[in-house]
Structure 1
Amino acid sequence: MSETIPAGKGISAAQSKIENRLIETVVESFNKTEDPRLKVLMQSLTRHLHNFLREVRLTEDEWRTAIDFLTTAGHITDGKRQEFVLLSDVLGLSMQTIAMNNQAYKGATEATVFGPFFLENAPEIAIGGDIAGGAAGQPCWVEGTVTDSSASPVPGARIEVWEADEEGFYDVQYGDGRIAGRAHLFADENGKYAFWGLTPTPYPIPDDGPVGQLLESVGRSPVRASHLHFMVSADGLRSLVTHIFVAGDPQIEIGDSVFGVKDSLIKSFETQPAGTPTPDGRDLDGKAWARTRFDIVLAPALT
């Protein structure tokens, strides 16, 4: 049985009883669900959704607007764009789910949002390779180690990295099939890794769809703080999905549109003057470049 909600302001006891009876009926309709977890999810969702409707006294026009919003989100979603992930992100639901499922553990690196632009089967590069794939931007040397929570190296850890170019676009947003700004590599026998990428810059999440219209309606910026995505995995350890952010980026103070920034993930990206020798001797044709360090600590699995 669902909890009985008292009549709201201006709502008669008789009307409240009708509304509560409907909640009970819908909740009970899931009683025969064989999967116990699915039963809990559906019954709790039903209670919360119905009580939200009752709290705000949703109008039929508002209900139709919501249905149209979700329909449009479905139509714009495809294999390269996930509008429902964006919606989850801007409502803070993605970060809340991450917070609940990646609890702090003995200095393990913090997780943050996955984002809508990860692709399976990104090309493999060797340590010291370049993920840019021709994408425009300032070259950036990224290096670090992968260890477990006891500071032991994690040899062979798989490291997926992806990012936008200096114009704020991921490769999949160009629609021409290019693969750029993404790759995967493996840590060496000492847990060390390094690669060339691009110095991250701020960019707006895709705001030409219903989520963008929502943000505009409520006066919120679609801009994300500058960041570089990581996904790190190894046997026996908790897989990590995270970013690193650029220290001094004004957007961090203004606000990240998906609430993904954590202080521990803000890293110094040090600009190197044109002509400065690179760590691996790469010739950058006299261009300025940047460097950063990100040491990754993986928590044990099932913690």
Structure 2
Amino acid sequence: MTGAKQISTEQETREQALVDRVLRSFANCESARLKQLMESLVRHLHQFLRDVRLTEEEWKKGIEFLTEVGHLTHDKRQEFILLSDTLGASMQTVSINNEAYGNATEATVFGPFFVEGTPEVHAGGDISFGATGQPCWVEGTVTDTDGKPVAGARIEVWEADEDGFYDVQYDDGRTAARAHLFTDGEGNYSFWGVTPTPYPIPHDGPVGKMLEATGRSPMRASHLHFMVSAPACRTLVTHIFVRGDDLLESDAVFGVKDSLVKDFVEQPAGTPTPNGRVIEGRWARTRFDIVLAPE
């Protein structure tokens, strides 16, 4: 590399000898998988250190950063997951563990705001439970990769309100903009939610400082979360995104995939709704047909 510091053969030999010594320290590891993970981690970590010729001051700063991340991690906030998300590690792990299978719907990051024990709504029900935002009709089908309808598939859905907050980010114990429902005998589903809006990931901590220092935005593209499960099918965790959103190319956690970008079509005031609900003002609608891979 032009301008790069030349490393003597003797120095390279010393550095490689240390790597080899660390690798040998795992010789008695009883778990073959753990041994593989630790050896690969050591090789890549040392390669990074040697590649950038990390200074001791930079290493100290890195330790201080990770310490701060740890201090901000507790039962209501997971700064390490946020760090993983913003470095693309979460999304890469999702990709590795959800291999492409035919026409199966693509997975994306889970996010930190899923909650167990959500209320059930029936076909055409409203998951908003008072969450602010423009009403949005969501409908689609769930099928397998052969096109066969999946009846009784459980669909968990959750999203932020129009102010960019999930219910768990409020202090009043509310349950809003989240629920679960089941497909009918033909694999159909439908519900009312709110039209997704963009929002920032928590950026008042060390991860936010990292984003600011590197010239990155903390904003997530507008999205609606789904988790879909059914017997003999691989559970799908995914989102759908709003076509035309300016943040699609800069989503802070790299969760956007082209196949998950959908049209959210705004309807003029007075337009009849699919299930006869009376809405004053504008509303939107979208369709998301889901294909589940085999287990």
**Which bracket does the TM-score occupy, shorter chain normalised?**
over 0.9
Q: CA deviation at 1:43?
A: 0.8
Question: Does the 8 Å CA contact 1:107/1:297 hold for their aligned counterparts?
Answer: yes
Instruction: After TM superposition, give the deviation of residue 49 of structure 1 in Å.
Output: 0.6
Identity of aligned residues (%): 68
Residues paired across the two proteins, number: 292
Shift of 1:79: 2.7
Match of 1:5 in 2: none
Code of the residue aligned with 1:258 in structure 2: it is: V
Are residues 1:135 and 2:131 paired? yes
- Aligned equivalent of 1:245, options 208, 226, 241: 241
Name which of 118, 121, 134 aligns with 2:117. 121
What runs of 5+ residues in structure 2 fail to find an aligned partner?
Answer: none
Following superposition, the deviation at residue 299 of structure 1 comes to 0.7
1:279 to partner: Cα distance: 1.5
SS at match of 2:125: coil
| Structure 1 position 18, deviation (Å) | 2.4
- 2:53 is the counterpart of 1:74: no
Amino acid at match of 2:273: T
Aligned to 2:183: 187
- Give the Å deviation of 1:278: 1.6
- Per the TM alignment, residue 176 of structure 1 is displaced from its structure 2 partner at its CA by 2.9
Question: 1-side partners of 2:84 and 2:47: how far apart?
Answer: 20
| Aligned with residue 293 of structure 2, among 287, 295, 299 | 299
Q: Deviations over 1:244-264 (max 9, x none)?
A: 1111112224x2111111111
Partner of 2:277: 282
Mean Cα displacement is larger for which, 260-269 or 177-186? Answer: 177-186
Counterpart Cα distance in 1 of 2:59 and 2:85? 22
Deviation at 1:119, TM superposition (A): 1.9
1:267 aligns with one of 262, 271, 278: 262
CA distance in 2, matches of 1:179, 1:60: 48
- Equivalent residue of 2:162, what SS? coil
Equivalent position amino acid for 1:237 in 2 = C
Distance 2:294 2:181 in 1: 21
**2:137 alignment partner, SS class:** strand
| CA distance in 2 between partners of 1:262 and 1:121 (Å) | 29
- Which SS does the other structure have where 2:192 is aligned? strand
Displacement of 1:214 after TM fit?
0.5
**C-alpha deviations, 1:87-125, integer Å up to 9, x for none?**
111111122222222222221111111112222222222
Deviates more, 1:60-69 or 1:10-19: 10-19
Relative to structure 1, the CA distance from residue 75 to residue 177 in structure 2 (aligned partners, 3 Å threshold; closer, same or farther) is farther
RMSD over aligned Cα, in angstroms? 1.5
| Partner Cα separation in structure 1 for residue 119 and residue 66 of structure 2 | 34
Deviations 1:136-157 (A, max 9, x none): 1111111111100011111111
Distance in 1 (alpha carbons) for counterparts of 2:97 and 2:33: 16
Give me the TM-score of the superposition, normalised by structure 2.
0.94
Q: Deviations over 1:163-217 (max 9, x none)?
A: 1111111112223322211111111121111111110011111111111110100
Distance 1:23 1:175 in 2: 50
**Native 8 Å contact 1:136 1:165 kept in 2:** yes
SS of residue paired to 2:156: strand
Please state if 1:235 is matched with 2:249.
no
Q: Which deviates the most, 137-146 or 26-35? A: 26-35
| Structure 2 residue 39 is the aligned partner of structure 1 residue 48 | no
